[in-house]
Chains A and B, each alone.
Chain A
């Protein structure tokens, strides 16, 4: 059975801090790993990673995948209160099946 584990489950930081969110997986025939941000409603796409060791960046957010050790990290630097959300990791495996982790709830306090 495919499995995606995110850690920590929740995290409280102050504005300006840097955070690292973790995602480890056991998936049959790995195809891609995707990160999403979910505020009050639907998840919104952040990154898709398919190759090991190549960092994807968007502003203060970045992510990298390690296919040998089966994990990915999402970094957020200089956090802002608007970064408060649930961050979801999902892994695509065989037959286009997509498995999500339970998410990390990030709270950024002013």
Chain B
């Protein structure tokens, strides 16, 4: 079954304790991306990756790191989480069509992170 898998689904952590949210896709997609979703602000892109070892900042990259060492995995790293990073996080992947077109994105089920 084609899917994007995020783990964990729920996480409560303390300020400053490094954490990683994993994301894996089984569709051989080139493009992967991380978003956070906050009430009243919608989905905002954190980082994205066009292929292995190619990443770029989205709209809200501060406080986050990513890596793309393999095509299927795109972990999100919070080196020193703070309460303002409490949010619902989504990972997504898609094929890149011709002429720079992003096709349908498949989303993971989300990770609800609380930083206290």
A residues with CB within 8 A of B: 29, 31-32, 34, 41-45, 48, 50, 88, 90, 92, 94-103
Contacts and interface: CB of A to CB of B under 8 A. Distances in A.
- Which of B42, B105, B108, B110 is packed against the most chain A CB atoms within 10 Å? B42
B19 interface: no
B74 interface: no
Nearest to A86: B42
Chain B contact patch, size range: 20 to 34
B80 interface: no
Contact of A101 (B42, B50, B104, B105): B42
Given A95-B50, A102-B40, 12 more contacts: A31-B99, A31-B100, A31-B102, A42-B90, A92-B100, A92-B101, A95-B56, A97-B45, A97-B56, A99-B45, A100-B42, A102-B41
A32 B101 contact: yes
Given A31-B99, A41-B109, A96-B96, A48 B42 contact: no
A88 B43 contact: yes
A65 to B, nearest CB: 13
B105 A100 contact: no
- Which of A41, A43, A48, A98 is packed against the most chain B CB atoms within 10 Å? A98
B9 to A, nearest CB: 10
Nearest to A9: B40
- Which of A32, A34, A41, A42 is packed against the most chain B CB atoms within 10 Å? A42
